[in-house]
Every structure is written in C-alpha cells, then in structure tokens.
Amino acid sequence: QADDLKVTIVLDWTPNTNHTGLYVALSKGYFAEEGLDVTIIQPQEGTAEQIVASGSAQFGIGYQESVTFARAEGIPIISLAAVIQHNTSGFASLAEKEITSPKDFENKKYGGWGSPIEEATLRYLMEQEGADPEKLQIVTTGDADFFQMSSTGEVDYAWIFEGWTGIEARLRGIELNYIELGKVAEVFDYYTPVIITSEKMIDENRELVQKFMKAVERGYKFCIENPEEAAEILLKNVPELDRELVIESQKYLAEKYQDDAEYWGLQKQEVWERYMQWLFENGFIAEQVDVTKAFTNEFLNQ
Amino acid sequence: MELAVDIVNLCKSFTLNNKELKVLENVNLQAEAGKFISIIGPSGCGKSTLFRTIAGLEKEYTGSVIVNGNDIRQSRPYIAYMLQKDLLLPWRNVRKNIVLPLELSGKLKNTDTGFLEKMISEFGLEDFVEAYPDELSGGMRQRVALLRTWLMEGSIMLLDEPFGALDALTRKNIQDWLLEIWEKHRKTVLFITHDIEEAIYLSDEVYVMSPRPGKIIENININFGRPRRRDIVYTSLFIDYKRWLMSALQV
Amino acid sequence: MELAVDIVNLCKSFTLNNKELKVLENVNLQAEAGKFISIIGPSGCGKSTLFRTIAGLEKEYTGSVIVNGNDIRQSRPYIAYMLQKDLLLPWRNVRKNIVLPLELSGKLKNTDTGFLEKMISEFGLEDFVEAYPDELSGGMRQRVALLRTWLMEGSIMLLDEPFGALDALTRKNIQDWLLEIWEKHRKTVLFITHDIEEAIYLSDEVYVMSPRPGKIIENININFGRPRRRDIVYTSLFIDYKRWLMSALQV
Amino acid sequence: MKKFINTGKLSLPISFAVLIIAWESLVYVLKTPDYLIPAPSAVLQALIESFPVLMRHTAVTLLEVILGFITALILSVVMSLLMVRIKVLYQILWPYMIISQTVPLYILAPLFMIWFGFGILPKVLIVVLVCFFPITVGFVQGLTSTEPELDELLQVMRATPSQILWKVRVPQAMPQFFSGLKIAAAYSVTGAVLSEWVGAQEGLGIFLTRSMKTFKTAALFADVLIIIVLSLLLFYIISHLEKKVIRRRSLL
Amino acid sequence: MKKFINTGKLSLPISFAVLIIAWESLVYVLKTPDYLIPAPSAVLQALIESFPVLMRHTAVTLLEVILGFITALILSVVMSLLMVRIKVLYQILWPYMIISQTVPLYILAPLFMIWFGFGILPKVLIVVLVCFFPITVGFVQGLTSTEPELDELLQVMRATPSQILWKVRVPQAMPQFFSGLKIAAAYSVTGAVLSEWVGAQEGLGIFLTRSMKTFKTAALFADVLIIIVLSLLLFYIISHLEKKVIRRRSLL
Ligand SMILES: Nc1ncnc2c1ncn2[C@@H]1O[C@H](COP(=O)(O)OP(=O)(O)OP(=O)(O)O)[C@@H](O)[C@H]1O
Ligand SMILES: Nc1ncnc2c1ncn2[C@@H]1O[C@H](COP(=O)(O)OP(=O)(O)OP(=O)(O)O)[C@@H](O)[C@H]1O
Ligand SMILES: [Mg+2]
Ligand SMILES: [Mg+2]
C-alpha cells in the first residue's frame, strides 16, 4: 500500500453518475490492485483540462468539445475513453409548453449559459427542421438550475442531461418534453463526458495509463452490470448527493455507458471528425484539429 | 432677587478604578441673575465638574441644580459654556469655528455677522480668520473659543479658565472687553480662574472651594462699583480681599 | 562661560493661506549652562515656535541654533521639552504616561522608580496613578506632563507655560519643587510664562519678546541670590523689575 | 436605561423569530416549491439529517478559515508596519496588493491548484488572499491618519521611528485596524468556501455545490446556515476583542 | 527631498517593468506553454487583437460598476447614519448585513436572476452587495469611535443629535469612511465580473468565461488586465478624493 503510485483525477463537475465507475474502482479496490493510490478531486468547473495538461493531476474528466477546443489552442490533452457512448443531453421543457421538436423553438425563450456555441447549435437545429432561426430567442441564465429557471416563466426550454435533470424531473413528477440532441442531428452526437490525460503521460507513463484505465474499465463494467450496487457505492463516497436521484440515474445510465458500442469507452474517429468540422465551419476554432491525436482507444478493452 | 443658578446640596462622585471618588460634596451656590461670580479653588477640587453638571453634561449627581427656574434634569438649560479645553473643530477654520453656535441654531443666515469682523480684530485674530486651529498659538485658540462661546445662546455664561493661556496685556484687554459686553448685556457669568486678582477685579461675588471633595468654604461679596477701573487693584480694600481669599486658599 | 543654547539671527516664517507669516525675526538668545531663563511675550508672538525650533521640530528656518555646542541641524539635541498642550497618551494611565521617556530610552528596567511614588504624591497625584488622562482635571494633566518632562533626558529643559492651569497654591508648591530640583541638578531651563512675577521669582534672566514677528526686545538679569525666598516679591528691586518688564510689554 | 438595553438585546432575536415565522408561513401559504425556497422547517430537517456529514465538512472549512485568517492577520500586520516604515516599499507593494484583489478568484483557482497542489495549502492561501486586504487597508489607513502632535512629542523624546510606530501610531490605529478585521472576518468563511473550488474532497463548499447540483435546496440552505453561523461567530469574537482592546466609551 | 520623491514615484514603474521583463524572460527560458502562463507579449497581442470586442464588454461592465458603486455608496451612507442615530435599527440590521456578506455569491447570483430578471438590475445589485459592506463597516466604525469631547461641546450648544452627527461625527469619520471606500473600490470591478455569471450577454465576465472555456489564455489575461486597470483607476480616484476631503498632513 505504502509504495502505491499516487494518482489524482479531477472531475468536471459535482460527482455524479457519470463518475460512478471511478468510485467503484476506488471502493472495490480495482485501483489498489493495479498498485495505484487514487484521489478524486472536485475542482472548479471547466478547469480540468488545464490542470491535466499542467501535470498537476494525471487524469481528468472532460468533454469532446473541450478537448477539441483545447487542442485547437495547442493544449496537449487526449481523450482516453467515452464514458457514455452517445450524447444524452438535449432540450427539455415543461410539457405544457408543447415543445416537441426544434420547429417549436420559434418564438420560445431558450435559457442558456451564454456560449456562442449554444446559439449556433440551436440555429443549426432549427434550420435543419425548416424553422426560421431568426425567431430564436435566447436569455442568458448562467448557472441557475433548470427547475428554478422554468418556474420563473421567463424561460421556456433549456439544455439538460437526461440522466440527471431529466431523472430529477421524473422523480418530482414534473412532466417534460425532451428532445435528445444526438437523435435530432447526428453531428451533435458527440462524446460527453470523456476521460482525459496529457500526451506527456502517454509518452512517459504509458504503463500507468494502462493500469489506470484497466481499473476504470472494470469500474464501469461493474456499473453496467450492477447499477444498484454501483449507485450505493457512489452514495457511500458522496453522501451529499440525493439518494433517489442517484439510484434512478444509475439505472438509466447502465444501458447508456456502452450502448451499441463494441466495448465500453470506444470512440469513433468520425464522431470526433464530424463535430470538429462543425466547430471549424462555424468559426469556433481557427484551424482544423487533427482528431486522430485528440483521442485514443489504445487503453480500452484490456 | 431672581436666581439664575440655584444649586442645593449638590454631591457628585466618579468611579475611578472601581472605587468611589467623591468630587463635589454638598455644594450650595446661588447666583443672582446678572451677577458676575468667580469660583476659585485648588486644582482638581471639582470646579470643572461643577460647570459640567450645570451645563447638563454630568447626569449622575444628587442634590438639585435649578437654572432659570427649571431643574436641569427636566430640561437642558440654555447656557453659553466655554470648556477648559478649547475644543476647536480641527477641520474648520477660525471663522467657521466661531460661527458654529449660530450655524447650529439656524441663525447664521439671519444674523448680521458684520460685528464679528470687529470682534475678531479686537481679539487680534484678523489675519487668522481663514487659518485652521493647528496653525494657531495656544492663546489664540483660547480667544477663538471665547468668541465662539460669546455667540452661544443663553443668559448664563460659564467660563472655565478662559484666560489661562493669555499674556498679561492680552488678558487685560480681554478682561475689559468681557466686562464691557457683560455690562451691556447683563448675562449671568460664572467664572473659574486661578488668578485671585482677576477674580476680585471682575466679580460681584467670589466663591472659594476646598480641595477635593470640593465644598464651598468661603463666599465673599466684592464691593466695588461698576464700571470698574483698573486702579482699584491698588486700594487697600482690594488688598484685603486678596489676603482674605489667599488665606481661605491657604496660600 | 559655556553656552547651553546659542541662537543667532533666527528667522522663521510659516505659510498661511499661501501668504508668508513672519513669526520670528532675528532672534538672538544666549543661555549659559545651568541658568534659569524666562521668556515672556504677547500671545502669538512666537514663543512656542522658538521652543519648537530649539527642540528640532521645526526644520525650516534661517539663522543658527546651537545646543550644547552642536548645530541642531546636524544632530537632534537632547532636550526635555514640555509642550504647551499636555499631550498625554489617552490610552495610557498616569504612571505609564509619566514613565514613557524611561521606556523609550530603555532605562525603565534599570532605573529605580521608587522616587517616582514620592514625586507623584508631592504633585498630589497619589490617588490617580492608575487613572487615565480623561479622568483628570486640567491642572492634574499639566502636572503629569511636567513629571514626564522631568524624566526626559537632557541637560536642557524647555517648559512652555507649565503652570498655566494651576491654582495659586499648587503653583507655588510646584515652583518651589522646580527650583529645588533645579538647584540640585543645575539643568539649563528655558521657561515660557505669562506671569511676570513668576518669571522674576524663578529666573536668572528674563527675555521679553515683541508682538509677532517676535524679536527679543529686552533682556534683563535678575539679581537675587539663590536659593530664593518667597519674600523677595515684596522688595523694591522686585517691584522695579516688574515695572520694567510691564512697560517693556506695554501693559 | 436598563430597560432600553434589554429591549435592545432582544430586538435581534425578535426580528429573527418574526422573519423565520413569516418565511415559514409564506412558503405554506404560497405553496412555494421546495426547490425554489425551502421552508425553515425543511432546512432544519435537512440540517438534522445531514448533520454528521455537515460537521465533517465544517471541520475542514473551519481549519482553512482559522489557518488562513491567522496567517492573513500576521501578514497584514507585518506588511502594514513595514510599508508605513519604509515608504518605497509602500509605493511598490500597494498597487500589487490592490491587483491581488482584483483578479477574479475563479481565474486564480486553477493556477493555485497547479502551483500548490490539492492539499490544504491553496485553500488557506485563498483565505489569506481574501482576508489580508481589508486588514491591511484598515491598518495602514489607521497608522497614517493620526495627528502629528504625539509623533512630535515622541520625537522630542528621541524615540526611534519604530518606537513612534509602536507607542503612538499603533494604539491610535486600533479602531481602523478593527474595522478591517471585521470586514475580513465576514469574508473569511465565504473565502474558504470559495477556496474549495481549487479542488477539494471535503468542506462546506463541496457540500454546497453537491447539494446544488443534486437539487437539494434544503440541504444547500442548511449548509449556508452553517456558513452564516461561523461567520457571525468570528465577527462577534472580533467585536468582543475590540471592546477589550480599545478603552473608550462606545457610542453604539 | 525632491529627489527622494522622484525615486518614490518612479519605484512603481520600475518595479513593474522589472516584473514584466522577468516574466517574459522566464516564459522564454522555461518554455512555459502558453495555456499555463502566456508571455506578456502574447497578452499584449491578444489585447490588441481583441481590442474592439474587449472595449464593448468593458463598457457594459463599467456601467454595472458605476451604477453599483454609486448605489452602494448612497445606501451605505444612509444606512450608517440611520443605524448610528437609531440604536435599535443598528441592533436589528447589523447581523443581517453581515449575513448578506457571508452567503456565497454563487448561491445568490442565480436567485437574484430569478427574482430580478435578466437585465442589468441583478448585476448592479451584486455590485451593490459587494461594495456596501466595507463602506458601511468603515463608516459606522468611524462614526462611533470618536472622542466624546466634541459631542459634548455640541450638546452644550444644544445641537440636535443629527447636527452632532453631521457637524462632528461625520467629519471625524472621514479617514475610516475612505478606508471602507477603498476596499469597496478594489472589489467593485471583480464584483461586476462575477455578477455576469448570473447570465449576461456582454461584459468582461462573459469574455472571461468564453476565453476560459475555449482555452484562450492570452485573451483571458488581457481581460484580467482590463479588470485590474479599471480597479486601480477607481481605487486611485478614491485616494485622490480622500486627499481633497481630509485636510491633514499625510504621513505616507
Ligand atoms: N470622568 C472622570 N472619571 C473619573 N474621575 C474624574 C472624571 N472627571 C474628573 N474626575 C476627577 O474629578 C476631580 C475634579 O476634577 P475637575 O476637572 O472638576 O477639577 P478642577 O477643579 O476643574 O481642576 P483644575 O483646576 O485642575 O481644572 C479630579 O480629581 C478628577 O480626577
Ligand atoms: N503650523 C503653523 N502654520 C501656520 N502658522 C503657524 C503654525 N504654527 C504657529 N503658527 C503661527 O505662528 C505664530 C506664533 O505661534 P506660537 O505658538 O509660537 O505663539 P506663542 O508665542 O506661543 O503664543 P501663545 O502665548 O498664545 O502660546 C502664531 O501667529 C501662529 O498662528
Ligand atoms: Mg478644571
Ligand atoms: Mg505658545
């Protein structure tokens, strides 16, 4: 135990069911078996990429989008695995608003965190459905939560994760209409979240990455097979979370982690390429990114 | 005759290091309206405390203090009080310090302050109206404080060593000024001084206080006519008064 | 003889409202070591400014000020200076205010402060060693400041109206105390007062200053022996001195 | 007089009780959903339920606060004294001290993590960063806005500049020093909570984000309640100290 | 004397230049990647490139700062005066004022948005919230820690309590009032930047998050640079005003 290698992984957000595999690997001793002493850190949102790139933490949780941005800025990070095979985020609205397709976005108020990507995404979706993107209305709501936002009546729909906010709505008995992003436009079926590390780690510590990913993979496989027990493990590690939400979310995600992929974590080049192109065409990145360097499946399916 | 200040059995103590310090003990003082009364007594005997009590600054005492017929416990008296420290407001220049009482009573605008210029130059402050207190000498500060006191409302003046920092000449001039305006307006003046001759020269009555706890141990009438002339100081009556007071003070 | 203070052609002005205010003009003063010298002059003539300059608090002047053979521009003189304001530290009690000079020179521990208790009770402050300045009367504050000055280092004492707030009796006692210790230690004393008799009684020499801008207009030697007795005030020589000085001051 | 003081002391509990009752009733009457504003009773329940967990987090945050506050105090006092003594130091350092306050913490958070790791150090440093500025501003202002008279008196006594500083300026600066301390006290706990952004495993800040992101509004309020109580405690400790240190009739 | 002042005034530019050069060289020598710490030259370049965009954002933030600061100033002054006059008000309000500072802003920000909409109002309110506390603490402390002598003098003159307040207490409170103002000035811009979290379309805070999310570190530093400059500007305006208002030999 004493000479276990110290490893730190920084999360992207509050610990949630996206991270259960990590906690399972920790609690079940999978990391220990690999000789790793892992600490899970919850940092400020949106800082994981920088921290991993700097080497302060060896691993982190990111998104395909942020990895692409990072690489466009020359930040040498690499995605090691897609935690969830398909994008489970989408646009939710209270049922009474009757927003069932991007067509209905016309003259409805979208509440977002103010990123230009949101606007481009929404316009793309509306155009694709033949709606008038000029009738898009956006209010910036920052970090406010979906339920509070909707209750003000100032916002009609917002971008949420089905496996979290969607589940919470179900638990509260709030009826939602939900438009799954990946389903309405293939280009948006990107990987979110992903596990990241730095190029330097792969170059200099390949073995460590291998060991780490092996344990992580076991963790997620366990989640897939035993969602309820996995949920308990997460709750034991993070007791602050809402019990019901975690259990229900875990059940929901059990099928989503691997989904239709050959094995858990697999990332396809076309998915990376597609979204990178879209970002490029919409002017979010100045140059095209070599996506083959942005991800690797090398450490999966061990 | 009407009493401007009527003090009966006034007792006053402070708490000092959790012990009681008796400062005034059964002080009785009756000041007729329009009189000029001096109070002399050893340092620390309670003279300033007496004035502070009359002015309503000390609330905890026994006995009664009646000013112009009203108990000061009931209503704060109208009194022009010059405290022992000059207490000029450091952020105000001389003129603004002087007119403060008018400003407070809202009469600054209605009062013709032309006469002020005259008084300021009588007090030798004509070059200093725009100066700030920290640019004045000790005696000049005292003169400013006296002028300010003169502008306070009230038919009673309490002056706590108003000339302590003045040289002989200035002092004489201001004594004469004081007598002159006093004779014109006939306010009641209570006057603390350490200068026995000054007390005799100015007053109708002199009270002598004992060392702490302060009691009135002597009270003499000064029988010189008004307006007074400087040369009374050479009369044998004056010298008798002086001897008498000095012996009362055990000098 | 050795000069303790040697002032030659001292001129000093202030800027007041952007105008030059001449305060000292060609002041010459030679104080022999061990002498007791009084300075009298009208209020505002520059006496305190003169002391401040000697003590090194005013830097901008012309002429020269030599203290114990050293130009004060070169080295800050060792001087025991009692300023006109008492300037007690309000957060320190009486004892701590008094011993401040010892504390600063690091001698508090080595000095036997037993004698202090005696002096404190001679000054009538025995019940107030633990009291804070705001619990003292005006005269008591002055006595505390004088005691503190006595503990300052230096063979020269500058006393700026040290007895201004004291009654006749206390004043006499403290004058006598001052003469006694002065005769024992033979420090050079420069003494500002408004009391002409006090100046004559205490001094070897009296300087008279003119109104602002202050010049030395008179300088007389007082030819009474030492130790002095109170009754010299009744001598005709004393009265002559007094007349002389009063006429110099135009009183 | 006595009576007045009593009603004075009571006015806070009374106003507080009124507030709580009004809040509870409003939530009942308006049927405000829990996730918008939980009723005080719900908060209390959450507090009781999560008490052991909350206490664990509180211990962590409190440690950060105490270490940070004390470090800031020492640092501020030393820096203030140095800056007042050495003018050039003041001229050089002052702008950087202001700058240190103007850089948003969420920019600093990742940098701190990279520089100082994930231990308690970066958190304590953030508390220091938050607290030292008000203390220093207050103290420096206090040390430099005194009347020159007492300075002069000590000069006459041939006091060294540092004696003048210690014997005259410092005592006179106490009211302003304490107003800086009070501001710092009010900020310190929030500072520690924020600091947990720089990557933490435990602490009230972690509990806070977690409750927020799992929509447990009542638990979130319970957490905020603890933050408030800690802050008030610190604030009143400082106020109490102030009364001990400054011998002066209080005007309030 | 003259010479000393000159080197004093120069010490800051010199230290600043040294810092910048050292930073630039270090980045060169250590080959620190841009995304960790960009070189000053890179920041300058980003500043120039994004200048028009940055200026648009700056205008928005500046408006929030100015409105918020002025509102806070007025509010603080009024509240302080009221609390000093009416003791019960002090006893009731003071704890809530402290509480208002201890609730983390990122809890309040979303609530503010829900309560006050998405316009400039919630942002200005956050700036107010950040600024009013230091001003009030300083002012109240200043108003209540004066020597009673001058109060008594005015009592003798039969001044009303509010005259005593205005003619004696307020002038005496100026040094402490200004130390509060300075602290508030240092915080105000950061406060506005934070406030833009509650959902804004424009502002330095928005630019900041966008640069951060897209890892444009040089642009992010350029943004921070503007924040610093604005804060310093405000701080020095206050310091300058202070010198005008307080007639006193400065000891620094
Ligand atoms: N606030 C206070 N607390 C405690 N003791 C006090 C207070 N104010 C005054 N005293 C004490 O009361 C006594 C009388 O003081 P007071 O100022 O009335 O003397 P005084 O006669 O005016 O003396 P002086 O001629 O020296 O001015 C003194 O012993 C003083 O120490
Ligand atoms: N800092 C200053 N700025 C401007 N003028 C000043 C300053 N200090 C003193 N003065 C002026 O210098 C003159 C002399 O003042 P000083 O205090 O020396 O008088 P003094 O002889 O001690 O008078 P007193 O007997 O009244 O104490 C006064 O007119 C005063 O206004
Ligand atoms: Mg007195
Ligand atoms: Mg003088």
Q: Which atom of ligand 2 is nearest to the CA of B141?
A: 26
* A38 alpha carbon – ligand 1 mean position (Å): 74
Asked if the model's pLDDT at residue E234 lies above 60, the reply is yes
Helix/strand/coil for A85: coil
Show the tokens assigned to D62. 């409190």
**Residue D26 structural domain:** 1-30
Rg (CA), chain C: 18
* pLDDT bracket for residue D246 (50, 70, 90): confident
Chains that touch C (3 or more CB pairs under 8 A): B, D
| pLDDT computed for residue C1 by the predictor | 60
Show the tokens assigned to E25. 């060289």
Number of other residues whose CB lies within 10 A of the CB of residue A173 = 6
Asked if the model's pLDDT at residue A244 lies above 60, the reply is yes
| pLDDT computed for residue B41 by the predictor | 94
**A93-128 b/e (C-beta count within 10 Å ≥ 16 → b):** bbeebebeebebbbebbbbbbbbebbbbbbbbbbee
Q: pLDDT digits over B184-205, tens only?
A: 888 999 999 999 999 999 999 9
Task: Decide if A131 contacts A102 (C-beta within 8 A).
Answer: yes
Judging contacts by C-beta atoms under 8 Å, the chain D residues touching residue A47 are: 109-110, 113
d(CA A158, CA A149): 9
CA distances from D201 to B138, C233, D48, D51 (A): 67, 90, 22, 18
Probe target for ligand 2 pocket from C48, C196, C216, with the most ligand atoms within 8 Å of CB: C48
d(CA D47, CA D41): 10
CA distances from C118 to C114, C123, C179 (A): 7, 9, 17
Q: Look over chain A and give the mean of its residue pLDDT values, rounded to a whole number.
A: 92
CATH number at residue E175: 1.10.3720.10
Nearest-CA residue for atom 27 of ligand 1: C138
Number of other residues whose CB lies within 10 A of the CB of residue C175 = 19
d(CA B136, CA B130): 11
Judging contacts by C-beta atoms under 8 Å, the chain E residues touching residue D146 are: 251
Helix/strand/coil for C172: helix
* pLDDT (mean) for A32-50: 90
Nearest Cβ partner for E110 among A53, A69, A143: A143
Q: pLDDT digits over C65-98, tens only?
A: 999 999 999 988 899 999 999 999 999 999 999 9
Asked if the model's pLDDT at residue E210 lies above 60, the reply is yes
* pLDDT (mean) for E142-169: 91
- Ranking A52-56, A222-226, C143-147 by mean pLDDT, the lowest is A52-56
* pLDDT bracket for residue A168 (50, 70, 90): very high
* pLDDT (mean) for E75-102: 91
Which of D214, D221, D223, D224 is the best mutation test for A, with the most CBs of A within 10 A?
A: D214
Identify the residue whose tokens are 């989008």. Answer: A65
- Ranking B184-188, E9-13, E214-218 by mean pLDDT, the lowest is E9-13
* pLDDT bracket for residue E9 (50, 70, 90): low
| pLDDT computed for residue D1 by the predictor | 32
Task: Decide if D172 contacts D151 (C-beta within 8 A).
Answer: no
Nearest in space to B85 (alpha carbons), one of B130, B129, B144: B144
B54 versus D91: the higher-pLDDT residue is: B54
**A268-280 b/e (C-beta count within 10 Å ≥ 16 → b):** eeebbbbbbebbb
Asked if the model's pLDDT at residue D82 lies above 80, the reply is yes
Does ligand 1 come within 6 angstroms of the Cβ of B23? yes
Residues in chain C with pLDDT values less than 70: 1
Nearest-CA residue for atom 4 of ligand 2: B135
Nearest Cβ partner for D150 among C89, C101, C153: C89
| pLDDT computed for residue D248 by the predictor | 59
Q: What total number of domains does chain D contain?
A: 2
Number of other residues whose CB lies within 10 A of the CB of residue D244 = 7
Q: pLDDT digits over B28-78, tens only?
A: 999 999 999 999 999 999 999 999 999 999 999 999 999 999 999 998 889
CA distances from A1 to A26, B239, C193, D15 (A): 14, 106, 88, 56
Q: Name the E strands within B104-235.
A: 156-160, 188-192, 205-209, 216-221
Residues D48 and D23 in one domain: no
Output the CA angle B232-B230-B118, nearest 5 degrees.
155
* pLDDT (mean) for D62-84: 96
> What residue in E sits closest to B51 (Cα-Cα)?
E156
CA distances from B172 to B197, B202, B229, C251 (A): 12, 11, 12, 8
Nearest Cβ partner for C138 among B84, B171, B195: B84
Nearest in space to E147 (alpha carbons), one of D249, C7, B5: D249
Phi and psi at residue B197, to the nearest 5°: -60, -40
Mean pLDDT is highest, among C115-124, D98-107, E234-243, for E234-243
Q: pLDDT digits over B239-249, tens only?
A: 999 999 999 99
Among the bound ligands, the one closest to the CA of C16:
2
Number of other residues whose CB lies within 10 A of the CB of residue B251 = 17
Summary count for chain D: helices (H), strands (E): 11, 0
Identify the residue whose tokens are 């008498």. Answer: B244
| pLDDT computed for residue E251 by the predictor | 46
d(CA E81, CA C173): 50
Show the tokens assigned to D238. 């400082």
Does ligand 2 come within 6 angstroms of the Cβ of C35? no
| pLDDT computed for residue A145 by the predictor | 79
Task: Decide if E90 contacts E83 (C-beta within 8 A).
Answer: yes
| pLDDT computed for residue D83 by the predictor | 93
Q: Which atom of ligand 2 is nearest to the CA of C194?
A: 25
Q: Where are the domains of chain B?
A: 3-78+154-249
| pLDDT computed for residue E16 by the predictor | 86
Nearest in space to A240 (alpha carbons), one of D210, C75, B206, D233: D210
Contact partners, residue A42, CB within 8 Å, separation at least 6 = A10, A11, A13, A14, A15, D199, D200, D201, D206, D209
One-character DSSP codes across C84-141: SS----TTS-HHHHHTHHHHHTT-TTTS-THHHHHHHHHTT-GGGTT--GGGS-HHHH
| pLDDT computed for residue A18 by the predictor | 95
Element at C156 (helix H, strand E)? strand C156-160
Distance from CA of A129 to the nearest CA of E (A): 26
Show the tokens assigned to D234. 């610190």
Q: pLDDT digits over B110-151, tens only?
A: 777 788 888 898 899 999 999 999 999 999 999 999 999 999
**If you count them, how many residues does chain B have?**
251
CA B76 to chain centroid, in Å, comes to 18
CA C137 to chain centroid, in Å, comes to 21
First and final CA of chain A: distance in angstroms? 24
Nearest Cβ partner for B194 among C43, C47, C166: C166
Rg (CA), chain B: 18
| pLDDT computed for residue B1 by the predictor | 60
CA distances from A197 to A75, A76, D114, D200 (A): 11, 9, 15, 19
Nearest Cβ partner for C57 among D155, D168, D171: D155
d(CA B200, CA B38): 8
Nearest-CA residue for atom 17 of ligand 1: C137
Distance from CA of B1 to the nearest CA of C (A): 32
Residues D21 and D141 in one domain: no
The helix-helix angle for E40-49 and E2-30 (nearest 10°) equals: 90
Please state the pTM of the whole predicted model: 0.91
| pLDDT computed for residue E61 by the predictor | 95
Q: Which of residues 101-140 of E touch A (CB under 8 A)?
A: 106, 109-111, 113-114, 117-118
Q: pLDDT digits over D109-124, tens only?
A: 888 888 898 899 999 9
Residues D166 and D119 in one domain: yes
Q: Look over chain D and give the mean of its residue pLDDT values, rounded to a whole number.
A: 88
* pLDDT bracket for residue D5 (50, 70, 90): very low
* pLDDT (mean) for D214-243: 92
Asked if the model's pLDDT at residue E173 lies above 60, the reply is yes
Q: Name the E strands within B147-244.
A: 156-160, 188-192, 205-209, 216-221
| pLDDT computed for residue E1 by the predictor | 33
| pLDDT computed for residue D250 by the predictor | 45
Among the bound ligands, the one closest to the CA of B45:
1
Task: Decide if E40 contacts E156 (C-beta within 8 A).
Answer: no
| pLDDT computed for residue D6 by the predictor | 44
| pLDDT computed for residue D52 by the predictor | 93
> In terms of DSSP H, where are the helices of chain C?
47-54, 94-98, 100-104, 114-122, 138-150, 168-185, 196-202, 236-248
The share of chain E scoring above pLDDT 70, in percent, equals 94
Phi and psi at residue A70, to the nearest 5°: -60, -45
Q: pLDDT digits over A81-132, tens only?
A: 999 999 999 999 999 999 999 999 999 999 887 778 888 999 999 999 999 9
Distance from CA of B60 to the nearest CA of C (A): 16
Nearest in space to B208 (alpha carbons), one of B79, B6, B50: B50
> In terms of DSSP H, where are the helices of E103-203?
105-116, 121-144, 148-156, 161-164, 170-195
Asked if the model's pLDDT at residue E232 lies above 80, the reply is yes
Task: Decide if C153 contacts C107 (C-beta within 8 A).
Answer: no
| pLDDT computed for residue D16 by the predictor | 87
> What residue in D sits closest to E14 (Cα-Cα)?
D92
Mean pLDDT is highest, among B79-83, E1-5, E10-14, E15-19, for B79-83
Give the up-direction half-sphere exposure of residue C46: CA atoms within 13 A in the CB hemisphere.
27
Asked if the model's pLDDT at residue B236 lies above 80, the reply is yes
Residues E134 and E178 in one domain: yes
Does ligand 2 come within 6 angstroms of the Cβ of B139? yes
| pLDDT computed for residue A248 by the predictor | 95
Residues D14 and D118 in one domain: no
Nearest in space to E153 (alpha carbons), one of B144, B40, B138: B144
Q: pLDDT digits over C101-123, tens only?
A: 999 998 888 777 788 888 898 89
* A39 alpha carbon – ligand 2 mean position (Å): 74
* pLDDT (mean) for E153-176: 92
Task: Decide if D112 contacts D122 (C-beta within 8 A).
Answer: yes
Judging contacts by C-beta atoms under 8 Å, the chain A residues touching residue E214 are: 69, 72-73, 284
* pLDDT bracket for residue A3 (50, 70, 90): low
| pLDDT computed for residue D251 by the predictor | 46
| pLDDT computed for residue A2 by the predictor | 55
Asked if the model's pLDDT at residue B250 lies above 90, the reply is no
Residues E78 and E112 in one domain: yes
Task: Decide if D113 contacts A43 (C-beta within 8 A).
Answer: yes
CATH topology of domain B3-78+154-249: Rossmann fold (3.40.50)
Position C211: which residue type? P
> What does the DSSP 8-state code read for residue A15?
-
Neighbours of ion ligand 4 (CB under 5 A): B 137-138; C 48, 84
Position D237: which residue type? I
